[in-house]
Amino acid sequence: MMIAPRANIETVFGTKSSRKVFRFSVVVCSLIFLTGCSVLEQKFKELMRPSPIEHPGQSQSVQEQKQWPEPPRFSIPPPTKEELAAVGLPEPPPFFIPEPQKPNKRHRGRKNPVKFEKRKIGGIAFYQTTIDLTDFDTYLSVLLPHNATQANSSEISYGAENFESFVTDHKGAVLMNGTFFSKDKEQRVMGNLVSDGKVLKYSRWENYGTTIGIRAENKLEMVTARAEGQPQWDKHWFSLTCGPRLLRQGEIWVHPEIEGFRDSHVLTIGPRQAMGYPKSKDRIYLVTFLYGLSLEKEAEMMKKIGCYEAMNLDGGASRALAHNGSIIIKAGRPLTNVLIVYDKNHPAPKETIKSWEHFQELQTDSDESETPSSN
């Protein structure tokens, strides 16, 4: 082994004091390098950490920290006077004024308060749920993912949940999917939503589509906001906005462009679900079609079923249906909102019953205060 002359070593490393400076520099650089790696590693972990949207099963306190920017204002303008006149409608008032109707008085012991059956009309098969609103034990409510207390919106999102999980965790006579939701990260529920007398979702910018509402005393109404005025959501015990509308006052009424619909997935032929009620307004029909239909054909079918008012629900990959805890149609994707029907054999939660009774008292007091004095 050859040893380098001292002069050469000093040429490379300098004097003894210079070598100390060199060693110190190496140590400092190493520490900086390791510290940088640690910071980078921490940043990487933060980037890879599951967000509330990707893994919405986290606690609500964590979810509530996530705030989303307000979405842009509704870009589709409301219909003009000429467009409304073309379909036989005047310019709508600011708020919808329902026609007077008799209350659906509730009784115990109805024979089939929630009737579930498979039917076929004109060669088209479908499942039909008939909810008797005059039965004491029937309730229609909305389930949200991971027991959330508010629906996904521009401000907060709890993601979505598998339909199987909804069915397992909530014992209802019938469960099915509800209204549309966005395909972005927030998975915002489209349209306003009320359940058990509580507003689950409200946005003044999403005044599109058609709303079915259940008022106090189980009074029913169906409102197309851009054609008839905004629904009074504070008067609704249950309220679901979807669409397009299929029937209006007993006649086929399919005008998605007036309601603000532009998505081809909604307007073309596809798997359908719908919701409606007869002229008597004492029942609600939930219908799941087993074949792809156009909106016009769906409207024809809802009229043949016996509806006086009807509207389309979210379909396609969201279409889902369960009866007595058994899944009949499995959803093709996780859902952000699910309809559940309770009856005597599948009783509603105590909170739902109590809130219903409280809602009746509040609305009765409100109606009395709004009644003009005869003096």
Copy the structure tokens of residue 274.
């719908």
Instruction: Identify the band that residue 77 occupies on the pLDDT scale cut at 50, 70 and 90.
Output: confident
pLDDT beyond 50 at 12? no
Please tell me the distance from the alpha carbon of residue 72 to that of residue 256, in angstroms, as a whole number: 21
Look at residue 25 in the predicted model and tell me its pLDDT: 64
Helix axes 6-13, 16-48, angle to 10 degrees: 40
294-298: list long-range contacts, CB under 8 Å, 24+ apart: 294/268, 294/269, 295/244, 295/246, 295/254, 295/256, 295/267, 296/252, 296/254, 297/124, 298/246, 298/272, 298/274
Partners of 213 in the beta sheet?
221, 239
Measured CA to CA in angstroms, residue 115 lies from 15, 127, 340 at distances of 97, 11, 14
Please tell me the distance from the alpha carbon of residue 84 to that of residue 7, in angstroms, as a whole number: 99
Look at residue 71 in the predicted model and tell me its pLDDT: 44
Contact 338, 145 (CB under 8 A): no
pLDDT tens figures, 287-308: 999 989 999 999 999 999 999 9
Contact 295, 321 (CB under 8 A): no
Give me the chain's average pLDDT, please: 82
Reported pTM: 0.78
pLDDT: is 275 or 93 the higher one? Answer: 275
Please tell me the distance from the alpha carbon of residue 232 to that of residue 226, in angstroms, as a whole number: 14
Percentage of the chain lying above the pLDDT 70 cut: 77
